[in-house]
Chains A and B, each alone.
Chain A
Amino acid sequence: MRIEGPALCMGPDIDTDVIIAGRYLRTKDRSEWARHAFEDLDPALASRLQGKVIIAGKNFGCGSSREQAAIALKEAGVVGVVAPSFARIFYRNAINIGLPVIECDCTCRDNETVRADPAEGTVIIGERFYRTRPLSPRMLDILSAGGLVEYWRGRR
């Protein structure tokens, strides 16, 4: 499994209220969440997420358990999130909806090419190489299936 795309750098402690605000949760329209991703941080950001790998600071996805946060990023075209640590509910949600997440503390410059492999536990940003802990076999299976729903259907 490979993740590849230009880097989008973000700071630490990005909470799920910032990823998708509570006022946009009352719908099942996923494109609505994608359109308003990170709106309170920068309203123009959502339109620049397509194909990006988010390289964030520690504790990404803290706060509310809202799965719409992970869905918003995936729907907006984010191909993966790399951070030194994640809030645990966001981490599980991301895997469960098929958005790759990698725990890695790395230096980020916007638009540098990121190549990462959660199965091997490697992250390359520009010329910098980082080794990190690979995801568990079960998480990799869920990701490969496209998410927990597809994984579950495939096992029946």
Chain B
Amino acid sequence: MLNNSLVIIDYKMGNLRSVQKAFEKIGCNAIISNDKDIILNAKKLVLPGVGAFKDGMKHLEELDLIETLNKKVLEDKIPILGICLGMQLLSKKSYENGETEGLGWIDAEVIKFEFDNKNLKVPHVGWNEVIFQDEDNLLFSNIENHKDFYFVHSYYFKPHENVTTTTTDYGFEFTSSINKNNIFATQFHPEKSQKNGLQILKNFWES
């Protein structure tokens, strides 16, 4: 069994191939899987995701992966990178289409963007600046402050503990990436953010 590999968790939510391809580009042969044994042997994990929060949690439950992930991340302290929905799922709960409990690894809620200003459209889609709140975070090494990354989301991650590594301004400054011990996550899509996005994946893989 490959025990030094990066595993992209396949929970039937979105752009797995894009994420895998981006890791391949930086020289990491990532495996896409939802097999518990493969996940248990992974050196690093990626929880990607595009789609609705409720479906995301439902699929993780149906695939019976929650216990495995809790063990890997909370007990074995294996590095994990959540991307977009994969970041939001780390929270305690989301208000997307009712209330849904998340994995609960981070004390945070997921809340819908709502603006009175008609120029601020929802979803927040496109390239926006990422502002460092933690200059030395390893995920952002070799990346300049205020670079643009690709976002596409209608809900934002609101932490109630000090985990924010970057913020982004859309009506207000929301948390665009976090780090807590071995847990990393970005609201933007590094796999779709060209050169700087690939650098983030490289930093995660090589750290």
A, B assembled together: no
Interface residues of A (CB under 8 A from B): none
